[in-house]
Amino acid sequence: MSVFESFSIDNIFPYALALAFLLGFAARSTGLPPMVGFLIAGFLLNALGVQGSETIDKVGDFGVTLLLFTIGLKLKVRDLLRAEVWAGASVHAGISVVVFGLVFYGLAIVGLSLFAGLDLPAAVLLGFAGSFSSTVFAVKILEEKGESGSLHGRTAIGILIMQDIFAVLFLTFSTGKIPAPWAPVLLGLYFARPILGYLLNRVGHGELVPLFGLFAAVGLGAELFDLANLKPDLGALLLGMLMAAHPRASEVANALFGLKELLLIGFFLSIGLAGTPTLEHVMIAILLMLLIPFKTVLFFWLLTRFRLRARSSLLAALSLSNYSEFGLIVAAISVANGWLSPDWLLIMALAVSISFVLAAPLNAASHRIYSRWSPNLAKFETRERHPEDQPVDVAGMQTVIFGMGRIGTGAYDFARKYHGNEVVGIDSDMAVVEAHLSAGRNVLHGDATDADFWRRVVTQPEDAPRYALLTMSEHSANRHAVEQMRSIGFRGFIAALAKHADEAADLETAGADLAIDIYAEAGAGFAAEISRRLESAPGS
């Protein structure tokens, strides 16, 4: 008997928190996302006999709600209307359910282990649970790499939202929870946008900003949808999308970032605490990993059919190469209704966790994988390209600026004074590109980590840019861009921005000629400007 067998995680929360931190730190130190450490912490606590609790589940639920709300703040409705999103998600789900269902039914016919008790409807239901990809995992991976606004990031997130809609339909029909008669009234939230915008414009820039985000996500979106017998997380997502056009939407998302990350630790711990698996459960969960490559290949093939480049298709497919928390929900409802045995809930929890552990290093190496196999992958591309995935040409440009946020825009305007029309900005967010084009700037849609782009640059050295400025918000994106540029042979001057001194040193180690800590330089620039003004003042 374990010494912790009579304890819930609430009783030993400080120790559980310490274990989560140590294993998260260990995962990060080995190049893996910290979430892998949190998952392992949950399994270790479970192995020691620690029980889960409603408190830790609630913490995780709040984390997921905030995650989906912040996704909504960055999404546009038009992203869901693109064919590669709604049709890609629908076709992939249909094919996956049929193939997975037939595989599981075939294993049931041969009498393999727990599969032996499955009839055809149960096998198809299990296939439906396996067809989902994890919203939490994919969004965290994309955010950590600074790619949530890129074409492949927006495509992956759009597909995940479509899967969320499929899950809502399943919940509606399988649980008997028919939406409340007044549910159509929720459409009126659209007309609440001016009121929410009015409030947001007047909350200042302090603690009321994250509190406003919590109020909107939990108090309005999630709660109202829950009262209407609809999925609460979907309400948070849709409310975020309603506010996405507000100029301060990104400020709200940034204000919630730390709290969201902290609460999501509860989600990952709760997966590991789902139950005590047997060796048979573990072996079947490992067997289910053999189906993930099929999901990945199918996503890649479908996205290339919708004219995305091989690179965009692969990066989106890899972020979706896992099982989902929604699969757990489907399994839980199926067990509650007697459609599946309780064993399958534990197996799905294990499968989700193992898929996260396997997919994390795969996604960390996604750009290197593409660089290695790009000639073979390019054979799957269609002759006509997606309008947002066209090759970027910077021939004849002196200076290229990646990341056209406030700092990138300032750098662009300054460089334009000296290099005239030989300056170009590049951003992975199409909305940002369109805003700059409207303002008269020469800005293209592209990605600094695009190996194909840098290959074209180095094959035309006489027309290659002399200066590359990296001003992207994520350190990982800047670092990978530097590595990509140097590994392919770019010999121009690379300057990159960092938010901390250790990040600046890391960028220079990776190959940047100059890396600047923006906060230190801002302080120095502020003092220099004061000194200049005082020296030029009359009587000084």
pLDDT digits (tens, 9 = 90+) for 211-249: 999 999 999 999 999 899 887 888 898 899 899 889 899
What is the arithmetic mean of pLDDT over 154-172? 84
pLDDT at residue 364 is higher than 80: yes
Residue 136 resides in a domain: yes
Of 368 and 308, more confident: 308
Which pLDDT value is given to residue 337? 81
Q: Of 189-198, 213-222, 345-354, 385-394, where does mean pLDDT reach its minimum?
A: 385-394
Q: Is 366 found in the same domain as 443?
A: no
On whether both 73 and 163 belong to a single domain, the answer is: yes
Q: Which amino acid is at 179?
A: P
Q: Tell whether 473 and 374 lie within a shared domain.
A: no
Q: How confident is the model at residue 293 (pLDDT cuts 50, 70, 90)?
A: very high
Task: Looking at the structure, tell me whether residues 29 and 120 fall in a common domain.
Answer: no
Does residue 118 share a domain with residue 66?
yes
Tell me the pLDDT band of 446, cut-offs 50, 70 and 90.
Answer: confident
The helices-and-strands tally (H runs, E runs) of the chain is 25, 6
Residue 394 resides in a domain: no
Mean pLDDT of the chain: 86
Residue 135 lies in a domain: yes
Q: What is the pLDDT of residue 485?
A: 85
* 259 located within any domain: no
Query: Of 326, 349, 380, which closes a domain?
Result: 380
| Cα 415 from Cα 80, distance rounded (Å) | 37
Q: What is the pLDDT of residue 31?
A: 67
Is residue 190 in some structural domain?
no
Domain with 488, as residue range(s), is: 399-536
DSSP string, 388-452: TSPPP--TT-SEEEE--SHHHHHHHHHHHHHHTTSEEEEES-HHHHHHHHHTT--EEE--TT-HH
Question: Is 471 within the bounds of a domain?
Answer: yes
Looking at residue 510, which CATH number applies to its domain? 3.40.50.720
Stretch 262-286: mean pLDDT: 84
Give me the CATH number covering residue 352. Answer: 1.20.1530.20
Tell me the pLDDT tens digit for each residue of 16-61: 889 999 998 998 887 677 877 887 888 888 888 888 788 888 888 8
User: Confidence class of residue 201 from pLDDT cuts 50, 70 and 90?
Assistant: very high
The residue whose two tokens read 């948070």 is 236
pLDDT for 537 equals 62
Q: Give per-residue pLDDT as tens, 417-426.
A: 888 888 999 9
Res. 298: pLDDT tops 90: yes
**pLDDT attached to residue 314:** 96
Q: Where among 380, 411, 439 does a domain terminate? A: 380
495: confidence class by pLDDT, cuts 50, 70, 90: very high
Separation between Cα atoms, residue 214 and residue 331, nearest integer Å: 30
Contact call for residues 45 and 23 (beta carbons, < 8 A): no
Residue 239 covered by a domain = no
> By mean pLDDT, which of 208-217, 239-248, 479-488, 490-499 is the weakest?
479-488
Checking if the pLDDT of 507 tops 90, the result is yes
pLDDT at 412: 92
Do 130 and 272 lie in one domain? The reply is yes
Residues 157 and 271 in one domain: yes
Contacts with 191 (C-beta within 8 Å, 6 or more apart), sequence order: none
Report pLDDT for 286: 94
Domain count, the chain: 3
Judge if 405 and 272 occupy the same domain.
no
User: Are 2 and 23 part of one and the same domain?
Assistant: yes
CA 358 to chain centre: 16
Q: Residue 529 falls within a domain, yes or no?
A: yes
Q: Which of 52, 74, 93 represents a domain boundary (last residue)?
A: 52
Residues 35 and 62 in one domain: no
Q: 280 and 366 in one domain?
A: yes
pLDDT bucket at 379, cuts 50 / 70 / 90: very high
pLDDT for 100 equals 96
pTM across the whole model: 0.79
Are 19 and 39 found together in one domain? yes
pLDDT of residue 98 exceeding 90: yes
For the stretch 54-82, what's the b/e string if a residue is b when 16 or more beta carbons lie within 10 angstroms of its beta carbon? eebbebbbbbbbbbbbbbbbbbeeebbeb
More confident residue, 379 or 357: 379
Provide the pLDDT confidence category of residue 506 given band limits of 50, 70 and 90.
very high
pLDDT of residue 539: 58
